[in-house]
Amino acid sequence: MDDRDFELMIVFRSTTEAMAWEKAAKGLDLPGRLIPLPPQIKADCGLAWSATLGDKEVIFKAAGEYDLKYGQILEWRRGAWNGK
Amino acid sequence: MIYFDQAATSFPKAPGVPEAVCQALQTMGNSGRGAHHLALEANRLVFRAREHLAQFFKANDPARIAFTANATESLNLALEGLLKPGQHVLTTELEHNSVLRPLYRLKAQGVEVSVVPSDQKGIPDFAQLEQLLRPNTKAVVCTAASNVTGNVTDLDYLGDFCSRRGLAFILDAAQTAGSFPLDVKRQKIDILCFSGHKGLLGPQGVGGIYLREGLELRPLKVGGSGMQSYSTRHPSEMPEALEAGTLNTPGIAGLLAGLKYLNRVGLEQIRSQEQELTRLFYLGAKDLPGVKIYGDFSTFRRCPIVALSLSGLDSAYVSQVLAQDFQIQTRAGSHCAPLMHRALGTEKEGLVRFSFSHFNTKEEIKIGLRALQQIVTRKERN
């Protein structure tokens, strides 16, 4: 397995936090998109920001620089949900 | 028809409000419930509305704005969520029952309540605040303006008073939001409760609450949040901590359209027009025989309200004649503000309240004055 088998998953504590992230990410042209959160992750608002592992650095940098709030950042194996 | 009951609810609504409500009904799902297109559209709209409200009240974080059904729910949430038996709260005679009744209920549970009296013009004697303080005083709750007289409260003074003594300042902004600028940071407001359908020109059924960062409230309701479904506790993250159940997304869409309109026109322009109409009406009515106007008119920096009595006539009768014979809608009676009416000495006959918005015109004011003149003349003949 290599990086292409994983995706970056930014998990939010609330729907409002997810919306604030999405708006900032669009404004900053950050890579990724909102997706439904894999059901295995329980502490959630049902939404996550998904990007490639290669985008990790640029996303971390922007989150720090612009004080973007989120719950946690996970590296998630593609296809690890839906029972695959 | 002439509508002079703007203090009860705004009419008409701002341009774009009905369309925004319809669009939400036709294009949006349930905010916070799922990740499909319709749910996300609702999420985005609700977040934009939080952003607009945060900017409107000069709050840093949109997440500190929670939606409720109305200002009454917000005030119940603030008072029930903050105060505990054994604590003491200060309020004023200006208050609406949306403040008083939650306080009476809390009093029965052991919360101590003191009321700052006001004079015959309805001006509260804030010099008494200091004397009314107790070691267990927790908060001051006050309206930004009387819904009876239109007198506005000195929020800078109250905010400073509370801040210096470590008290929570809870503001009922139902009558001023949309006319007077509110700045939660500068005015040191800890909790601001607002209605969406009055000065903010949105639909009925939507209101909200601003809660300062660092302050927590016990929610009135817990339940579905779309978050942390396996937890037995309602989420503690703001704003969802105070929002259980499906939000009124169409109402919020209408409120957002109202806010956008207010931002386009500007509060200064709106207030200036409202105050001009109020001045016109006041000057035309004050010398009519038998008419007595209540409130402090030493300044027109006030809400666009003129409450009056006609000697010997019940307020409900006058309001009914205005509606039936002149198609002018006003509000008679006690306006859910019993202590204010007691202080003004108008408990028995009530007052006829004329309340205006910038959507009213000078011509309507003239028609209103002519109607009042005719009622006075009829009374004199009889």
Confidence (pLDDT) at B239: 96
Write out pLDDT tens, residues A9-65: 999 999 999 999 999 999 999 999 999 887 777 667 889 999 999 999 999 999 999
ipTM: 0.85
Q: Considering only CB atoms, which chain B residues are within 8 Å of A18?
A: 43
Residue A81: which pLDDT band, with cuts at 50, 70 and 90? low
User: What single-letter amino acid sits at B298?
Assistant: S
Q: What is the DSSP letter of A53?
A: G
Residue of A nearest to B49 (CA): A16
Q: What's the full length of chain A, in residues?
A: 84
Question: And the tokens for A5?
Answer: 């088998």
Residue from the list B62, B228, B230 with its beta carbon closest to the beta carbon of A16: B62
Name the residue in chain B with its Cα closest to that of A48: B35
pLDDT recorded at residue A3: 61
Domains and CATH numbers, chain B: 17-265 (3.40.640.10), 266-381 (3.90.1150.10)
User: Inter-chain contact B227–A16, Cβ cutoff 8 Å?
Assistant: no
pLDDT exceeds 70 at position A4: no
For every residue of B18-48, DSSP letters joined together read HHHHHHHHHH---TTS-SSHHHHHHHHHHHH
Nearest-by-CA chain B residue for A49: B35
Beta partners for residue B306, in sequence order: B354
Interface of B with A in 28-47 (CB under 8 A): 31-35, 40, 43-44, 46-47
In which element (H, E) is residue A64 found?
Answer: helix A56-65
Alpha helices, H only, chain B: 17-27, 37-56, 71-82, 97-108, 129-132, 155-165, 249-265, 267-285, 315-326, 338-344, 362-381
Q: Are B197 and B177 in contact (CB under 8 A)?
A: no
Q: Give chain B positions within 8 Å (CB) of A19.
A: 43-44, 46-47
What's the pLDDT score for residue B271? 97
| Whole-angstrom distance, CA of residue B252 vs CA of residue B65 | 12
Structure tokens at B230: 């396996």
Could you read off the pLDDT of B157-199 as tens digits, one per residue? 999 999 999 999 999 999 999 999 999 999 999 999 999 999 9
Would you state the structure tokens that stand for residue B10, as one six-digit string? 């705004």
Instruction: Write the DSSP symbol of residue B177.
Output: B
- List the single residue in B with minimal CA-CA distance to A42: B228
- C-alpha distance from A12 to closest chain B C-alpha (Å): 10
In whole angstroms, give the CA distance from residue B40 to residue B70: 25
* Helix, strand, coil percentages for chain A (3-state, nearest 5): 35, 25, 40
* B43 token code pair: 């999420």
- Residue B355's DSSP bridge partners are B5, B305
Dihedral angle over CA of B221, B224, B226, B227, nearest 10: 70
Residue A67's closest CA among A20, A33, A35? A20
Q: Supply φ then ψ for residue B364, to 5 degrees.
A: -65, -40
Contact B124, B118 (CB under 8 A): yes
Give CA–CA dist B20/B253, Å, rounded: 6
Q: State how far residue B48 is from chain A, nearest Cα, in angstroms.
A: 9
Low-confidence ranges of chain B (pLDDT < 50): none
Q: Strand runs (DSSP E) across B117-263, as ranges? A: 137-143, 168-172, 191-195, 207-211
B65 to chain A, minimum CA–CA distance in Å? 10
**B238–A16: do the CB atoms touch at under 8 Å?**
yes
Q: Are B244 and B81 in contact (CB under 8 A)?
A: no
The pLDDT of residue A79 = 65
Residues B343, B120 contacting (CB under 8 angstroms): yes
Q: Is B321 helix (H, G, I), strand (E, B) or coil?
A: helix
- Per-residue model confidence (pLDDT) at position A83: 36
What six digits make up the tokens of B259?
A: 């806010």
Q: Identity (one letter) of the amino acid at A82?
A: N
DSSP state of B57: T
Q: What is the pLDDT of residue A82?
A: 44
